[in-house]
Structure 1
Amino acid sequence: MNATEDPAPAADADADAYADAGSGSPVGPEAGTGRDAIVRAARRAFTLRPYAEVTLRGIAAAAGVSPSLIVKRFGSKERLFNTVADFGPAADALFAAAPDALGRHLVLTMVRLRDELRGDPLLRVVFSLGNEDERTLLRERFRAQVTGRLADSLTGPDRELRAELIAGQLLGLGATLSLHRPDGAGTRTPPERLAELYAPGLQRLVDGED
C-alpha cells in the first residue's frame, strides 16, 4: 500500500458514533506527535473503517504527523494494525493484583487506562467495523490475551465462564462511561466511588462464590 494514498471517504454517522465510543478519541486531529498519538489515531481509524479503507495518510493526518514517520516507526499498515490489535499491555495492567483484591483493581485500572490512553483499552473488540478476518483476529486476540489469560489465573469451578463474565462486565463499564461522556454521572464520579459500587460483582466472579 502506498503511504500517501488519499484518505477514505467518511463512514456513516452510526459507524462514527461506534468508533468514538470504542476509542474515546475526539473527532479531528489527535494531539501530539509521538507513538501514542499515532496508535490512538490508528485505533480510531481501524474501528471506524474496514482495514482496506484505512490509509496511512489518513492516520497521519489524524495524529498530526507525516506518513513517513508512521512508516519509520511501524514499517507498514499491517504492523500498525497488529499493534492496535494487541490487548496484552492492557491485560498486564488489569490483572496485576492479587485475586482477593482483583475486582477493585480492575475498576480502578480500567478508569486509569481510559484516561492515559484517551480511550477504552478493550472496547475495540466490540465496535470494530472491519471485515470478518479482522474481527476474527481481534476476537482471537481478546480471547487469548484477556479472557483466556484470566481463566488460567482463576481457581474453582466454571473458570472460563467466570472469566468471560468478568470481561463482559469490564466491557460494559467501558461502554457506559463512553456512551455517557462528557457529562454523565460516571465521568463526574471519583474512581474510588466507582470501584465501591462496581467492584463487588466483579470480585464475586473472581472468587467463584455461589
Structure 2
Amino acid sequence: MSTMKKTVVTLCFILLGIASVYAQNSQFPSQVWHKGNIYFNDGMSTSGLIKYDLDNNLVQLQTETVDTFTASNVSNFEIYDEIFGGIRKFYSLPYAINGEYETPTFFEVLTEGNNLALLCREYIATDTRGMNNWGPMGMNPFWGPQNNFGYRLAFNYYFFNNGRLQRYSLKKKDLFAMLPGYDDEIDLFMRKNRLEHDKRGDLLRITAYYNELKN
C-alpha cells in the first residue's frame, strides 16, 4: 500500500473514531475544550485550551481567563482533539455565507494538495431521520453522531481551487464539475472502492485521489 493510501485510510478511521466517541459522550466537537494554537493576522500566536463556534465565526482561548477572537483577526487555528487523537486545522477565508458580501469565515481543512483542497463547516442539525438502524445512541460514521436529544453533526463542504471557494451541493454531477478532467478515472475509483459522493470520508478519499491524478 502506498504512503498516500495509508494516509487516507488512517484519516478515514480517524473520522469514524471521532463520530463514534462523540456519540458515546453525547457531546459535539464544538462543545469541548481542546488543546491548541491560535495564529493571528499580525504574526503573533498563542496557545491554551480552545473552543470554537463556527456559527458565529468565533474561537475562544482559555488560560487564566477566557478570551474570544473573531475570524477577522485570526488567520488560522489548530486543535489537538484528545478524544480521537488527531490535529484539526481551521483557516479564516473570505466568503459570503449568506450570499450577500464576503466576510472572514472559518473553514476546516479536510485534505489539500497542490491543486485542490476540500474544506468543510460543521453544524449541529436536528435529526429528522428518527431512531433508525443506528439506534438511539448510534452513529453514521461519515455524517456524524446522533444523541439522545435528536441532534446530529452535519457538514457543508467546499472546494478551494485557484483561489476560488465554492460550496459543493452534494450532487454527483456537481462533484465531477468540481473535479474536472478525470471523469472516467474518478468514476472508476468510486465504483471500485464503493465510495459515495455525499459522505465525509469518501469525499476526502476522492479529493486526495484527484490531487494524485493532477500531480
Q: Same fold (TM over 0.5)?
A: no
Q: Taking CA–CA contacts closer than 8 Å with sequence separation of 6 or more, which of the two structures ends up with the larger relative contact order?
A: 1
Greater share of residues in strand: 2
Greater share of residues in helix: 1
Q: TM-score under structure 1 normalisation?
A: 0.29
Q: TM-score under structure 2 normalisation?
A: 0.29
